[in-house]
Structure 1
Amino acid sequence: MTPSALQAEWIVGRPDPERVDALGTELGVSRVLAAVLVGRGMSGPREARAFLSAGGDLLDPMAMADMGRAVERIERAVRQAEPVVVYGDYDADGLTGMALLVDCLRRRGANVEYYVPDRLEEGYGVKGAVLRELAARGTRLVVTVDCGITAIAEAELAAQLSMDLVVTDHHTPGPCSPPAAAVLNPLREGCGYPFKQLAGVGVALKLAQAMLPGGEWEEYLDLAAVGTIADAVPLLGENRLLVRRGLVALRDTSRPGLRQLLRASGGASGEVTAERVIYGLGPRLNAAGRLGRAEVAAEILLTRDEGRARLLAGQLEEFNRQRRSLEAQIVREAEDMVAAGAGGACLVLARAGWPTGVLGIGAARLAERHRLPAVLLTIEGDKARGSARGLPGLDMLDALRACHDLLETYGGHPGAAGLSLEADRLPEFAGRMQEVVGGRLTPGGRMPRMFVDAEVAAGEIDGRLVRDLELLEPCGQGNPPPILVLRGAPVVDCRAVGQDGAHLRLTLGRAAGSLRAMAFRMGGSLNRLAGTQRLDLAFTPLIERWNGRESLTLAVRDFDIPGGDRRELTDGSGS
C-alpha cells in the first residue's frame, strides 16, 4: 500500500497580530517566529526570551524527596565496599539511566554491577526471582532506574533478603510507595520537586548531580539527553534545559558507543539534533531490547573501547534491520486479517508467533493507517499478550479497564498500553472492545488533527526564517517542530521518487525563485494531483546541510487542493 497525504483536519493558529508584532520587535525575530511563540502561549518578551535561550542552572536535586536518604545509603555502600547492582530497563530511557548511574557509582568508588531484564522472557519491572539471585550473589544494595515505583511486594522481599532498595523512577505511583531505603520520583506524594516531567534518566541524573561535587555530573548530560528525547517526555522546563545542553555535549562526547551510534545514524558528526536522536540513536538502542538483546545496548553505552563500540554498533544496526523487517511482516499479516473482515470500531488481532517486542510499533502503524485503535497480541500456548495503541481523545487504558474482568494484567498510558489474558477469552475480549470503543469513538474522532502554527507568504520563506525557527530547538514532545501553511502555491513540477514511488518531490513557483518540497510517504497521492496547478501546503522549512552545502527545503506534513472539502478550524488561543 503506497501512502497518500494525511488529509488531516487543520487547526490553524491565528494569534493577535498586535501581540505578534510587539513580540517580534522586542526580540528582533521574524513575524513568523513571533507568531509561533504567541500561539504557543508565551505571555510576553521575558518568558519568550527565557524559552528561546534555555539558559540557567538545573534545579537543586536536594529538593526531591528522599534525595538525602538515597545519597547517604549509596555513600555507606561505597565506604563499606558493599556489592551494589543498578537494576535498569530495556528501553533507551532505562538503558541510558542505567549506564549513567553505573558510571557515576564507579567514579565514586562503588563495587557496582548492573542488571537489565530480558523484555521477551521477563518483561518490565523489578522481579522477585532476580532479587533472590542477586541476594545469593551477595548484593546488599539495588538501585533501580526507570522502574520500581509500584514494586511493593518486591521491596518487601528485598528487605527479607537483607537487601536495601533505592528506587529511581518517573512513572505514575500507586496508592503507596514501596518500603525502600529511598524512593526518588517527582510524582510521588509529598515530593516538592517543582518539575514533574523528568524521564527515568532525568531522575538518575538528579541523583548523580547530588552525589558528584562541582560540575562532574555534567559529563552525563549526553546520556541524559538521549534518554529524555527517546522517551518522548515533554521537552519543556528542565527537560528543555538539560536536552539543549546535552545535545551540545553529544557532539563532542567522550563515549565511544555514542560516537559509533552517531556515525551509524548518518549525517555529519557535528549535526546533532533531537530529531537525530528520535530517528537515529533511539531506535537502535530500543531495537536491542525489542529483540531480547538489551545487554548489547547496555554494553555499548558503557564501553571505553572504540573497537568494541564499533562492533556493538554493527550488532545494533543489524537488530534495527531485523526489527524493521519483523514490524513490516506483522503489519502485512495484520492488514491481511483486516482485509479478510477483522475490524470494527477497534482492531483486535491475534496470531501465534508474533514477537512481543515489536507489537507496540505494529499497533501504532495500524492505528495511524486506519484511524482506529489497535490491539495486537501474540498467542503463546493458552496465553495471549500484546500491546494497544489508541487515538487522540480516546483513553485506551480506560478502555482496557472496562475489560478488566477478562484480563490477567494490563497497564500503561492513555495512548499506549500492554495487556495479557487467557487465549480462549480473546473472542469475548474483542467483542467487548468493539462495544467499549464504539461507544466512545465519534466519526470526527477518527480524523487526524494537525495543529498549524502560522500562515506564511512565499516571500517570507528563506534561510533567515529557518534560522529563526531553529531557536525553538530542541523540538519534540510538548514542543513540536513548527508547522506553517502556504496558500495557493503554484505547482511547477510534481513527481514520485524513492523506492516504489513512496515519496513526492514538488517544485513550487514564486517570484524570488522556485521552492523545493518533499512529501515523504505520500507517493500515493500523485494521481490525485495530476493537472493540479496550485496547492495549500502544511510544512516545516528546513536547511539541508551536506558536504558543506546548504539548501532550503520544505518538509511537507500535509497538503490540499484549494477549494477542497478538507475541514479547517481556527485556534485563537494565543490572542
Structure 2
Amino acid sequence: MKLWLDPQGITVPDGLREAVGGHPVVAQRLVQRGLTTPALARRFLDPAHYSPASPDELPDMDKAVSRVQRAIRDRETILVWGDFDVDGQTSTALLVSALRDLGAQVTYHVPNRFTEGHGIHVPTLKTLLDGGVDLVMTCDTGIAAHAAVDHAATRGVDVVITDHHTLPETLPAAYAAVNPMRLPEGHVLRELPGVGTAYQLVRALYGAQSSDHLLDLVAVGIVADVMVQVDDTRYWLQRGLDVLRHAPRPSLRAMMARAEIDPRDLTESDIGFSLAPRLNALGRLADANPAVELLTTDDAAVITERINELEGLNQKRRFLTRQIYAAAQQQIEAEPSLLDYAALVVSGEGWHTGVVGIVASRLVEDYGCPVVVLSENEGAASGSARSIDGCNIVAAISSQAHLLTNYGGHNMAAGLGLPADKLYEFRRGLSQSVHAMLGKAQVEPQLALDAYLNLTDIDLTFADDIGRLAPFGNGNPPLTFATRSVRVKSRRTMGSRGDHIDLRVEDQAGNEQRVLWWFGDVDSVPQGWFDMAYTVRPNVFNGKREALIEWLDARPPADEALALQDQAPQYTIVDYRQQTDPLAALEHVRREHDDLVIWREGLPQMDGADRFALRSAETLVIWSPPPGALIWESVLDIVQPQTLVLFGNAAPFDQADVLLKQVGGLLKYAYQLKGGSVSVSELAALTGHTEVTIMACLRWLNVRSPMHLTALSEDMYLIEMQESAAPGNGTRESDRLNRALAETRAYRRYWLAQKW
C-alpha cells in the first residue's frame, strides 16, 4: 500500500478553462504541465497544432545523409546493425524498410543477447565485413562502440551511428554520430528513442517524400522503450498511433489479431502490454533477427510462422518472470534490511537475465525506489536496473564503475555486470549515489491523486474526456482517481492464463462499477469497505465501447485497518494420489471436467502441457509431484484453478543415471539439429526438474562426457563435441547433482504427503 497524496488546489486561467472545456481535471492537468494558454494546450492535445523540429537540428545529420545518399547512388552494400530489444528491432526494421524504398543494397544484423550482448560485437563485425560491406549504419546502439568503429576504419568502411543512449566521455571516430543526447537539455528532440532517432535520418533522406508509413514502428518503439513522452517524442507517438489504427503493416495487424485487439481502438496500453512483450520475448529468450524479418515482410506464411514463435516464447517469458519475481519477493521477506537502502538490489543464482528487467520494473512499482535485479552464474553477476523520476540510474551506476565489468543504458533503465563477490559493496555504493540524487536514503512509495470521484461520475463520456490527454506513459502518467468507501461484490480471474482479476465494486449507495486489476494478486483483494485508487480510459469490451476502470491501489477507510481476503486460496480437491489405475482415473476426469489443463513434464507422448505451455483453466490436473515450491506456486498463479486433481505418479527422471541419459540425449539432439545451443529452462521443463538440477547435470556432463558446454548466459549453453571426456573424476559434480536430486525428491515427498 502506498502513501496517498490528496489532490492539490490548482488555479486554471479562465481562457484555458473555456478553450479546453469538459471535466475540470483535464484543464488542471494541463496547468500542472505548464500548459497555461489555449495555444499551448492545443499543441499538446492535437498533433495537427504541433510543428515538429527539423531533423537537421540533430548534430551530424548532414554528414549522415550525404554518406548514405552516396552509398545508395554508388550501389554500395549497407549493413544495418541494430539491438535486440523492441526499440532496436523497430529501429532496424525502419532503416531496412526505408533504405529498400530508396533503392539501397541493404543487409542487417541484430546481435544475439547471449552470444554477443549489447553493442557492436567486434568478432561478428569482422565476419560480416569479410562478406563485403561498404557502410555500417547503427541504430539504438553504437555511441560507445570505439573498438568496432576503429576496426571498421582499418577495413576502409565508414560507420554512421544513430543512437540515443548516454554519451561516453569521447565519441567514437565515426563518419557521423547522430544522437539526441548531443543536444542541449530541454531541446524538443532530446527524448527521442533509438527508433525516433533513426526516423529523423529517414525523414532527412526522404526529403519531400512522405515517410508516414513508417510511423507504426516509431510508435511501438517509443512505448516499448518507456521514453519520456514530451515534445517531438509525444508528437511522433500520436502520429504513429494513428497509423497503427488505420494502416498498420501486415505483421503488426496480424499481431493485433492474435492478441484480440481491434486496430481502430488501439491505445498505447495495447502496445505496452500486448504487442511489445511479444516482440521482446524474441530478444530476451532467443534471437531477435526474426523480429526484423517479421516487421519488414508482407508474406502471410512468414508472418504466421513468426507470430506462432512469438506466442510460444511469450508464454515462456511470463512463466520465468513469475518464478523470478516470486524468488525476489522471498529474498526481500527473508532480508527486510534490503529495503533500508536507497536502491533495492536483489540477486539469485541462475535467474534468467532475459526477464530480470521485467522483474525490476515490477519491483519498482511495489517499492517505489530504483531497483537492480541480478543473475549470479559462476562467480559473475549480471542483470538490469530500472529507476524512478529524479534518479538517473545509469549515472548512479557509473559512480560504481570501479566495481563493474560493464554497464550502459539511459536515465530510466540500464544493464550491468560485476563480480558476484562485489555485490554488497555495489549495493552500498549505489545507494549512496541514489541518496545524493533523491535527497533521502529511503523512498516511500507514493500515489498522487488528481481527484476524488463518485462511482456515478464514471461513464464513457467522462472516459473520452480524460482520453484527450492520451497517450499516457513516462512523462505523462494517466490521471489517478480515488473513490471512498467501496467494497468488492464479486471477482473472477480473466485472460487466457488467468493473469488478471475482473472485479465488481459497489459503494454504500449500491452503485456498481466493473474494475480490472491487471496482473492482480487474488490474495490482496480487500474484504469489507476500503478506498480505491484507479485510472479511467475508454475501452471496447464485447464489441461495445465503455469506460474502463483500472485498479491501482487500496487503503482502509479513515481510522480502520485494511482487511484482505483469506491468504490461502480455497480449492476443490479431487485426490487420486493413491489411485492404482491412474490412466482410467484420468479418462474419468476428462469426462467430468470441460475446462481442464493437464500439467505433465518428461512425458511428451502424453497429452498435456509443460510449465511453459500452461493456460488459465477451471481444473488443473497434476500428473506428477512438482519438483520445487517456486515452480508449484508459479503453476498455480498461471492456471488460477478452482479444482485441483492430484495424481501421485512417479516423475520419470528422478534417478541420476536416468536423468543424465535423458539430458545427454537432448543435448545430442540439440547439437545435431538445433545449431548446438540449448536452454537450461527448456531442459528443466522437458525433464520435470528445476533449473538448479539441470545445471548440475550439465556440469557433470561437461567433465564426464565428450560434450563440452560453454555458458553463453545463465540459461543458454553452446554444445561442442570432443574426442574424449575431460580429465578428472567428477566427484564434486556428482555430489552437486545428487544433492540437487535429493532436494527435489524431498519436496516431491512433502507434496505427496500434504493435507489438502
TM-score (ref. length: structure 1):
0.87
Q: Which residue of 1 aligns with 2:684?
A: none
Secondary structure of the residue aligned to 1:96 is helix
Q: 1:233 to 1:431 in 2, by over 3 A?
A: closer
Q: Which residue of 1 aligns with 2:260?
A: 266
Asked if structure 2 preserves the Cα contact closer than 8 Å seen for 1:65 and 1:191, the reply is: no
- In 1: Cα distance, 2:438 partner to 2:56 partner: 45
- In 1: Cα distance, 2:272 partner to 2:362 partner: 17
Taking only the aligned residue pairs, the percentage that are identical comes to 34
RMSD: 3.0
Matches within 5 A, 1:15-414: 15-16=10-11, 19=12, 22-55=15-48, 56-188=50-182, 194-253=188-247, 255-341=249-335, 344=338, 345-346=340-341, 347-370=344-367, 373-390=370-387, 396-397=393-394, 399-413=396-410
Asked if structure 2 preserves the Cα contact closer than 8 Å seen for 1:290 and 1:357, the reply is: yes
Q: Which residue of 1 aligns with 2:545?
A: 550
Alignment of 1:450 with 2:444, yes or no, is no
Q: Which residue of 1 aligns with 2:477?
A: 480
Q: 1:50 to 1:295 in 2, by over 3 A?
A: same
Q: 1:84 to 1:20 in 2, by over 3 A?
A: same
Give the drift of 1:142.
0.3
Give the drift of 1:224.
0.9
Q: 1:512 to 1:469 in 2, by over 3 A?
A: farther
Q: 1:502 to 1:513 in 2, by over 3 A?
A: closer
Residue 3 of structure 2 aligns to which amino acid in structure 1?
A
- In 2: Cα distance, 1:225 partner to 1:427 partner: 40
Asked if structure 2 preserves the Cα contact closer than 8 Å seen for 1:352 and 1:380, the reply is: yes
- In 2: Cα distance, 1:39 partner to 1:454 partner: 13
Q: Which residue of 1 aligns with 2:2?
A: 7
Q: 1:363 to 1:525 in 2, by over 3 A?
A: closer
TM-score (ref. length: structure 2):
0.67
Give the drift of 1:192.
11
> 409-418 or 226-235: which moved more?
409-418
Asked if structure 2 preserves the Cα contact closer than 8 Å seen for 1:371 and 1:391, the reply is: yes
Secondary structure of the residue aligned to 2:415 is strand
Q: 1:497 to 1:24 in 2, by over 3 A?
A: same
Asked if structure 1 preserves the Cα contact closer than 8 Å seen for 2:531 and 2:556, the reply is: yes
Secondary structure of the residue aligned to 2:116 is coil
Q: Deviations over 1:437-474 (max 9, x none)?
A: 78998988432112222344555433222111111121
Give the drift of 1:432.
5.6
Q: Which residue of 2 aligns with 1:3?
A: none
Give the drift of 1:364.
3.1
Asked if structure 1 preserves the Cα contact closer than 8 Å seen for 2:215 and 2:240, the reply is: yes
Q: Deviations over 1:546-572 (max 9, x none)?
A: 343233342232233332489xxxxxx
Gaps of 5+ in 2: 562-756
Asked if structure 2 preserves the Cα contact closer than 8 Å seen for 1:515 and 1:553, the reply is: no
- In 2: Cα distance, 1:227 partner to 1:249 partner: 14
Asked if structure 1 preserves the Cα contact closer than 8 Å seen for 2:265 and 2:539, the reply is: no
Give the drift of 1:89.
0.7
Q: Which residue of 2 aligns with 1:573?
A: none
Residue 471 of structure 2 aligns to which amino acid in structure 1?
P
Residue 325 of structure 2 aligns to which amino acid in structure 1?
V
Alignment of 1:515 with 2:513, yes or no, is yes
Secondary structure of the residue aligned to 2:468 is helix
Secondary structure of the residue aligned to 2:489 is strand
Asked if structure 2 preserves the Cα contact closer than 8 Å seen for 1:35 and 1:454, the reply is: no
Q: How many residues align?
A: 553
Q: Deviations over 1:221-241 (max 9, x none)?
A: 111111111111122211222
Secondary structure of the residue aligned to 2:34 is coil
Tell me which structure has the larger Cα radius of gyration: 2
Give the drift of 1:249.
1.0
Residue 187 of structure 1 aligns to which amino acid in structure 2?
M
Alignment of 1:529 with 2:519, yes or no, is no
Give the drift of 1:434.
7.2
Q: 1:83 to 1:549 in 2, by over 3 A?
A: same
Asked if structure 1 preserves the Cα contact closer than 8 Å seen for 2:472 and 2:478, the reply is: yes
Secondary structure of the residue aligned to 2:558 is coil
Secondary structure of the residue aligned to 2:80 is strand
Residue 156 of structure 1 aligns to which amino acid in structure 2?
D
Asked if structure 1 preserves the Cα contact closer than 8 Å seen for 2:386 and 2:414, the reply is: yes
Asked if structure 1 preserves the Cα contact closer than 8 Å seen for 2:160 and 2:175, the reply is: yes
Gaps of 5+ in 1: 1-5, 567-575
Give the drift of 1:125.
0.9
Q: Which residue of 1 aligns with 2:504?
A: 506
- In 2: Cα distance, 1:213 partner to 1:373 partner: 42
- In 2: Cα distance, 1:454 partner to 1:299 partner: 46
Asked if structure 2 preserves the Cα contact closer than 8 Å seen for 1:24 and 1:30, the reply is: no
Asked if structure 1 preserves the Cα contact closer than 8 Å seen for 2:90 and 2:221, the reply is: yes
- In 1: Cα distance, 2:330 partner to 2:553 partner: 27
Q: Of the two structures, which has the highest relative contact order with CA contacts closer than 8 Å and spacing of 6 or more?
A: 1
